[in-house]
């Protein structure tokens, strides 16, 4: 298994100075924003292209074939250092990077603050679309960073497993219902993904010491296997990348998330 060889989170000022042949900047922003302004050389990737749906379950992983085609289309190779960004705080970019982690591609980084920080600090932009030469990437899904419903059901009472629900407190309590049932997976703790971001620093992640304190206050400690989820493993992908950046050794994403769990009458639910 290859190890992470690049920083999990990279600062805008670092990216602006990078000059590397294998650098691939991937912008997950919506088309309108990308067309107005993007980092010079950045290719656009539509977030829906890396998702699969089985309604009402959303946000599943697509097939290896689909991922191979999508990654090849953006010019990605085995040697690419992928830096991902978006316009919304890192959810879409992090979902992409989690997907790369799942297929064993470890050379990736999240742009801290994404396009919000890049634009606010008047860094260089371009409005010309980028069409990269096609790559030849073969995606091979691995199970190290994935957990499914059946596996989760079997480990709900395992003290070595910690569940982090990245949704809003209202969703967690069951007041905001976005599936057949509201509430949360029993034993989960709630850490709304927006709390990881610092609005005073152009939506960068909060400083490392603050992030560690937030997790440890909820008994989310590195000695456990951490499972993150939200509604479709979009918001919780940022939680995943943050935990990875903090050096947590065992993290898994539940892709079906609440869209699966909350719509399955056979799964236990807690409220309040």
- Locate the DSSP E strands across 21-93: 23-27, 43-44, 52-54, 57-60, 81-85
Interatomic CA distance for residues 115 and 131, integer angstroms? 20
Give residue for tokens 């634009």.
Answer: 119
Give the DSSP per-residue string, 163-196: EEE-S-HHHHHTSS--SSS-SB-TT-EE--GGGG
Mark whether 155 is an active-site residue: no
How many CB atoms are closer than 10 A to CB 115? 27
Interatomic CA distance for residues 137 and 65, integer angstroms? 10
Q: H-helix or E-strand containing 197?
A: strand 197-198
Q: Using CA atoms in the order 151, 154, 158, 160, what is the torsion angle rounded to 10 degrees? A: -20
155 backbone φψ class: left, alpha, beta (φ>0; ψ -120 to 50): alpha
For residue 34, the SS3 value is helix
Contact 149, 264 (CB under 8 A): yes
CA-based torsion, 180, 181, 186, 191: positive or negative: positive
Interatomic CA distance for residues 17 and 13, integer angstroms? 7
Q: Which of 47, 85, 155, 230 is catalytic?
A: 230
Residues labelled as active-site residues: 230
């Amino acid at each position: 298994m290859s190890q992470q060889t690049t920083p999990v989170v990279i600062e805008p000022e670092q990216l602006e100075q990078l000059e590397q042949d294998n650098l691939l900047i991937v912008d997950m922003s919506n088309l309108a924003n990308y067309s107005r302004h993007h980092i010079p050389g950045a290719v656009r990737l539509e977030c829906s292209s890396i998702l699969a749906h089985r309604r009402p379950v959303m946000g599943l992983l697509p097939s290896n074939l689909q991922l191979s085609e999508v990654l090849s289309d953006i010019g990605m190779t085995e040697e690419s250092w992928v830096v991902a960004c978006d316009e919304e705080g890192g959810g879409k970019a992090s979902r992409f990077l989690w997907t790369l982690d799942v297929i064993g591609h470890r050379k990736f980084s999240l742009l801290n603050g994404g396009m919000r920080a890049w634009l606010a600090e008047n860094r260089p932009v371009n409005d010309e679309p980028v069409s990269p030469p096609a790559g030849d990437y073969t995606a091979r899904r691995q199970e190290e960073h994935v957990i499914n419903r059946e596996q989760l059901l079997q480990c709900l009472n395992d003290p070595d497993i910690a569940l982090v629900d990245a949704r809003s407190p209202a969703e967690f309590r069951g007041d905001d219902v976005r599936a057949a049932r509201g509430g949360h997976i029993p034993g989960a703790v709630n850490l709304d993904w927006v709390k990881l971001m610092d609005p005073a620093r152009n939506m960068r992640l909060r400083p490392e010491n603050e992030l560690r304190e937030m997790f440890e206050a909820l008994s989310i400690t590195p000695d456990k296997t951490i499972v993150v989820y939200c509604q479709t493993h979009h918001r919780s992908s940022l939680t995943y990348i943050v935990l990875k950046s903090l050096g947590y050794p065992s993290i898994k994403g539940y892709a079906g998330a609440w869209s699966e769990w909350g719509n399955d009458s056979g799964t236990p639910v807690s409220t309040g």
